[in-house]
């Protein structure tokens, strides 16, 4: 599953003692033993697993700390704007991602080992919606005189345009559609992504000075060679709008067998207003869930004209249903089949649950065998059987074959790119090859990001775009591409924070300054080490016993029942109030970063640990240690809830 179970846990998961432990901890003995170790506390910054699990690489711990009031914004910036700035350093779509991202960050959250994850998505939605309400804007960097072409206006292309404009490069964006957004607009229905909020987040990027060339397909309306000639670099962010058909007999050239992405595009463009009586979708991922949920909302018309058949709207691209047909719509019988069991399906668990509530029949552990056609050449049914999985290969179970009647069969089993006119870039699989810097191998000045590299999550495309923008910047400045960090995300930087607070370290003069005794030197940051680019901190490094049972604040959802779903296009998710947002941010355990609990100060038996003076304190610099008093007893490390303190000095 893409997200943990929605059933709220009702008891703490943390156990101080595991099976097999036979001895009680004895801190008094440890004090007298460990004072010979010569180890004193060092403050080690590591990446929290939420951020390490986020394909966009957002500084999640950072904006949660701002939300709860621990990290203070600079003068003249309010809390909500500061959260927005920290969030959008990596991802310019907080309102959209807060709604539809399947939240691998929440899967990785260390709080799962206490009781339940932090509702990161819900807080991000608050950030995005508040930013829209307050009309926060982006600012472009100083003009570099360099021109970059971005091919594709989906999440990867728009995120790349945003990052490139921040660096000061001119951006011309080409897109074959009438509207920006790619899969966010044409692949996800409006009750999940409200179009007014999507438009605002896209326009905020355009307003940075992005030149648009809409309804222009590179490879058809303009050649790739012409684009390359006009620009200093090209980023290919084409997306994958071409669905795969079912690999079973009877699928090819059957009119009422359609791809999931084409089905959703016809709906999202407003052309398809009703569907068929009996709809079967084969899939198990997020696209298939959207297909069946849309089909349940649209319903069908009993006495439909042949020209109103949904497949004609899907295939043609110009034909559209008359709005009047919706008045006679009745509910559709909608079935989703998946090779995997419900708990192994790729779709987010809450989306599967919602679809079931809305009246979708889900047949899991089922594989398609054959499309059965009538005399007119149209599909009338799908032959299926139960299956088991050998890795990604389905194994049919003998004696379980059966026939499912269907008026429309939709395949949502994968996607590819449309590479017509761009054949030199095609790797033979309808995708574009990429190296680790998101360069196109063998084509200097050409870069790639998003689904056209490998279809995955929206947040994955956004993360790739950020790295690609860095690579383009290096290329345009004739700089060698540096090795990417092992943990390649947007890290908190203590030096940047000190600069923001006006506390920059002094310069170091090798002739005048002594490297000994740097604990009192103004050119050094005392006993701090940044390992965030190499290490993600696990829950085993935290003192989980510090945290009490605190139920997660859940967003309210408006999920219609099977009886209410027809014509129900209201948004499902309801936003957090400010009070809910603050309450949820306080559940963050700030893994790998001090959150100013004072445990180390209170429990130090030697008074060696002390608070830094308020006028020199920042995030990450709340406490310090007097090594003349420290006896290496390890207590401060033991009671640190966030794993920020390690006994390292002296090794």
Report whether pLDDT(6) > 60: no
Q: How far apart are CA 193 and CA 555, in angstroms?
A: 16
Report whether pLDDT(310) > 50: yes
Report whether pLDDT(369) > 50: yes
Q: How close are the terminal C-alpha atoms of the chain, in Å?
A: 42
| 580-635 tens-digit pLDDT | 999 999 999 999 999 999 999 999 999 999 999 999 899 999 999 988 888 888 89
Q: What is the mean pLDDT of residues 260-284?
A: 95
Q: How confident is the model at residue 37 (pLDDT cuts 50, 70, 90)?
A: low
Q: Tell how strand 446-448 and strand 333-338 pair up.
A: unpaired
Q: How confident is the model at residue 427 (pLDDT cuts 50, 70, 90)?
A: very high
Q: What is the mean pLDDT of residues 246-251?
A: 97
pLDDT of residue 5: 46
Name the DSSP letter for residue 440.
P
Kindly state the percentage of the chain with pLDDT values over 70: 92
Distance of CA 19 to the CA centre of its chain: 36
pLDDT of residue 411: 97
Query: Is 60 in a helix, a strand, or coil?
Result: helix
Contact 160, 449 (CB under 8 A): yes
pLDDT of residue 8: 47
Give rounded-to-5 percent helix, strand, coil for the chain: 30, 15, 55
Query: Is 400 in a helix, a strand, or coil?
Result: coil
Taking the CA atoms of 84, 89, 91 and 92 in sequence, report the sign of the dihedral they define: positive
Exposed / middle / buried, residue 261 (Cβ in 10 Å: 0-12, 13-18, 19+): buried
Structural tokens at position 221? 């309306």
Report whether pLDDT(17) > 60: yes
Cβ neighbours, 10 Å, residue 140: 18
pLDDT of residue 617: 92
pLDDT of residue 36: 56
pLDDT of residue 308: 76
Q: Which of 110-119, 445-454, 621-630 has the lowest mean pLDDT?
A: 621-630
pLDDT of residue 203: 98
What domains lie within the chain, and their CATH numbers?
27-135+490-649 (no CATH), 147-241+417-476 (3.50.50.60), 244-413 (3.50.50.60)
Find residue 316's DSSP bridge partners: none
Say which residue, 33 or 453, is predicted with more confidence.
453
Q: By C-alpha distance, which of 135, 123, 158 is closest to 81?
A: 135
| 166-178 tens-digit pLDDT | 999 999 999 999 9
Q: How far apart are CA 561 and CA 359, in angstroms?
A: 7
Name the DSSP letter for residue 577.
P
Kindly state the percentage of the chain with pLDDT values over 90: 80
pLDDT of residue 316: 72
Q: What is the mean pLDDT of residues 322-336?
A: 80
Q: By C-alpha distance, which of 533, 535, 500, 465 is closest to 90?
A: 465
Arithmetic mean of pLDDT over the chain: 91
All residues at 6 or more sequence positions from 85 whose CB lies less than 8 Å from its CB, including other chains: 77
Taking the CA atoms of 424, 427, 432 and 438 in sequence, report the sign of the dihedral they define: negative
Q: How confident is the model at residue 348 (pLDDT cuts 50, 70, 90)?
A: confident
Contact 334, 363 (CB under 8 A): no
Contact 278, 266 (CB under 8 A): no
Helices 120-133, 195-206: inter-axial angle, 10-degree rounding: 70
């Amino acid at each position: 599953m893409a997200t943990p179970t929605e059933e709220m846990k009702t008891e703490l998961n943390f156990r101080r003692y595991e099976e097999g432990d036979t001895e009680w901890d004895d801190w008094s003995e440890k004090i007298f033993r460990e004072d010979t170790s010569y180890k004193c506390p060092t403050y080690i910054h590591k990446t929290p697993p939420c951020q390490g699990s986020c394909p966009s690489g957002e500084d999640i711990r950072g904006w949660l700390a701002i939300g709860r009031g621990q990290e203070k914004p600079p003068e003249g910036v309010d809390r909500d704007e500061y959260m927005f700035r920290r969030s959008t350093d990596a991802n310019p779509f907080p309102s959209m991602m807060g709604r539809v991202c399947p939240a691998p960050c929440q899967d990785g959250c260390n709080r799962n080992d206490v009781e339940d994850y932090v509702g990161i998505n819900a807080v991000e939605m608050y950030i995005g919606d508040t930013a829209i309400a307050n009309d926060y804007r982006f600012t472009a960097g100083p003009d570099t005189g360099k021109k970059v072409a971005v091919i594709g206006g989906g999440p990867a292309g728009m995120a790349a345009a945003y990052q490139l404009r921040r660096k000061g490069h001119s951006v011309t964006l080409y897109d074959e559609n009438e509207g920006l957004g790619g899969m966010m607009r044409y692949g996800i229905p409006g009750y999940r992504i409200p179009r007014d909020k999507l438009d605002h987040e896209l326009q905020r990027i355009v307003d940075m000075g992005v030149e648009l060339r809409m309804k222009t397909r590179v490879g058809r309306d303009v050649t790739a060679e012409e684009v390359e000639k006009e620009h200093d670099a090209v980023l290919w962010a084409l997306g994958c709008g071409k669905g795969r058909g079912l690999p079973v007999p009877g699928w090819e050239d059957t009119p009422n067998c359609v791809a999931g992405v084409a089905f959703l595009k016809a709906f999202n463009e407003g052309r398809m207003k009703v569907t068929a009586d009996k709809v079967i979708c084969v899939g198990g991922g997020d696209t298939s869930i959207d297909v069946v949920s849309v089909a349940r909302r649209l319903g069908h018309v009993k006495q439909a004209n042949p020209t109103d058949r949904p497949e004609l709207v899907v295939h043609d691209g110009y034909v559209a249903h008359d709005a009047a047909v919706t008045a006679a719509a009745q509910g559709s019988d909608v079935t989703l089949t998946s090779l995997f069991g419900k708990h192994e399906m790729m779709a987010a668990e809450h989306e599967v649950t919602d679809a079931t509530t809305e009246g979708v029949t889900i047949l899991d552990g089922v594989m398609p065998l054959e499309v059965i056609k009538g005399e007119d050449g149209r599909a009338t049914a799908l032959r299926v059987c139960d299956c088991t999985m050998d890795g990604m290969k389905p194994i049919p179970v003998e004696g379980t074959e059966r026939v499912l009647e269907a008026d429309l069969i939709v395949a949502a089993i994968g996607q590819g790119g449309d590479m017509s006119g761009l054949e030199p870039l095609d790797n033979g699989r309808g995708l574009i090859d990429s190296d680790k810097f998101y360069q196109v191998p063998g084509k200097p000045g050409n870069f790639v990001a998003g689904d056209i590299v490998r279809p995955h999550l929206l947040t994955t495309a956004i993360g790739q775009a950020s790295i690609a923008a860095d690579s383009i910047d290096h290329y345009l400045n004739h700089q060698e591409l540096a090795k990417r960090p092992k943990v390649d995300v947007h890290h908190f930087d203590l030096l940047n924070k000190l600069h923001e607070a006006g506390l920059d370290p002094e310069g170091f003069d090798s002739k005048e300054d002594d490297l000994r005794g740097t604990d009192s030197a103004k050119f050094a940051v005392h006993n701090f080490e940044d390992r965030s680019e190499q290490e993600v901190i696990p829950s085993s490094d935290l003192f989980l016993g510090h945290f009490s049972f605190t139920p997660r604040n859940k967003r309210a959802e408006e999920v219609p029942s099977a009886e209410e779903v027809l014509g129900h296009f209201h948004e499902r998710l309801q936003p957090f109030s400010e009070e809910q947002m603050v309450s949820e941010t306080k559940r963050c355990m700030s893994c790998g970063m001090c959150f100013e609990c004072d445990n180390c100060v209170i429990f130090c038996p030697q008074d060696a640990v002390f608070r830094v003076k308020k006028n020199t304190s920042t995030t990450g610099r709340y406490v310090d240690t007097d090594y003349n008093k420290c006896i290496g007893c390890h207590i401060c490390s033991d009671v640190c809830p966030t794993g920020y303190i390690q006994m390292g000095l002296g090794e």
